[in-house]
Amino acid sequence: MKTTATVLGIAAASILSTASSAVAQSAEPVRIAVIDSTDGDFLTYTLGGVLKEAGINVEYVRVDYTALVPALETGDIDVVAAFWDTAGWHTLMDSVEAGAVVNFGTSGVRIKEGWWYPDYMTEVCPGLPDWTALQNEACVKALSTVETEPRGRYVDAPADWETDGQRRMDALQLNFEAISSGSPVTMVATVKGAVDNEEPILGWGFVPHWYFEQVPGGFVEFGEHDDACYEDAAWGPNPDATYDCGYSAGWLWKIGSKSFSDRDPKAARLVHLFQMQTAAVSNATGEVDVEGRDIEAVAQEWIETNRSMWSAWMN
C-alpha cells in the first residue's frame, strides 16, 4: 500500500523522470503520482508506460498519499493510478462531487488489508481470528516488548497510511500500542523477522502482496464493517466510541484532475480503460521487494507481455 514520501508543494513538484519515446509525444506531460509503495507504483509505471506507447509525454511526481487529492484539486498532478477506497475515500468523494476530481473507475485490482498474524499465533492467542482473542492477558503479554510493555506491540503501517490502528485499539479497549513503521519495507521486514523465528507478532498486512499471500496467516475479524462505525458511537460493541470496527475490503481506483480530463481526452480515455490483474501486482511486489529488480523494468515487462491487451485500448 501507500507510504511516506516528500509532500508535493503547490509551488513546485519533485519530478522523478520524464518519458522519452520514439513516437511523437504530446507537448504537455501527464503528471502521474508516485507514492513510494511497490503495489501502487507498479500500477503508476505501467500506466505511464502505456501512455508513452500512445505517444503521450509522461512525468512521474512524488507525492505523499494524504496529499494526492489536494494535489489533483490544485492541478499539481494529473493522475493517480492507485487510490485505495479503504483510505481517504470520503475526501475523494467530496472532491469528485465538487467537480474538481474525476473518478476513472477501478484498476481491476482487489484489495484486502487489516491486522495480520501468522498461523502459529492461534496458539498464542486462542480464539483468533476473532478480535476478542486479543483481550486475553496472556496474548497481550506474549506480544509485549521492551518498547511497549505492559501493552502488546502492534506493528503498524507508515503513519501517512491512515490505518487508525491506535484509534481502533482504544475504541475496542485493547491493551496494545501501535508502533508506526518507517516504510513498507521495514514493516514487512519486522513482521518477516518475527515469523522466521516463530516469535509472537501482530501487524498491518495487505494483499495483493507477495509476503502476505505466501505465508500462512490470516486477518483479525472484527465483525461486519459499516461506515457508520466512524461517525456513530452507538454502532459497534463500544457505545461510547467510534472506530470500534474492522476494515473493509475494496479496490484500487484511478482518479485524475478535471482539468486534465478536459485538456487531454485521449490520455483520459486510456486512463479510464487501463486495467491490471491482481496477481500481476502481487508478483511485481515480489520481483521488486525480494529480487531487487527495478520497478520500471518490471512494469515494462508487463507492457511487453500484455501488448495485445493494452493495444486494444487505443482503437
112-230 is classed CATH 3.40.190.100: yes
Q: Which residues of 269-292 are buried (b: 16+ CB within 10 A; e: fewer)?
A: ebbbebebebebbbbbbbbbbeee
Burial of 306 from C-beta contacts in 10 A (0-12 / 13-18 / 19+): middle
Domain 15-111+249-314 maps to which CATH number in 3.40.190.10, 2.60.40.10, 3.90.320.10, 3.40.50.2300?
Answer: 3.40.190.10
pLDDT confidence of 227, banded at 50, 70, 90?
confident
- Strand 30-34 to 15-18 pairing: unpaired
Same fold, 15-111+249-314 and 112-230: yes
Peptide linkage before 208 cis (omega within 30 of 0): yes
Structural domain boundaries of the chain? 15-111+249-314, 112-230
Is 4's pLDDT higher than 70? no
Which pLDDT belongs to residue 26?
Answer: 52
Q: How far apart are CA 188 and CA 92, in angstroms?
A: 28
Q: How far apart are CA 196 and CA 198, in angstroms?
A: 6
Is 30's pLDDT higher than 80? yes
pLDDT confidence of 53, banded at 50, 70, 90?
very high
What's the residue count for the chain? 315
- Nearest 10 degrees: CA dihedral of 270, 273, 278, 280? -40
C-alpha cell at 159: 503513519
Q: One-letter amino acid identity for 212?
A: F
**Ranked by mean pLDDT, which of 16-20, 33-37, 96-100 comes out on top?**
96-100
Burial of 105 from C-beta contacts in 10 A (0-12 / 13-18 / 19+): middle
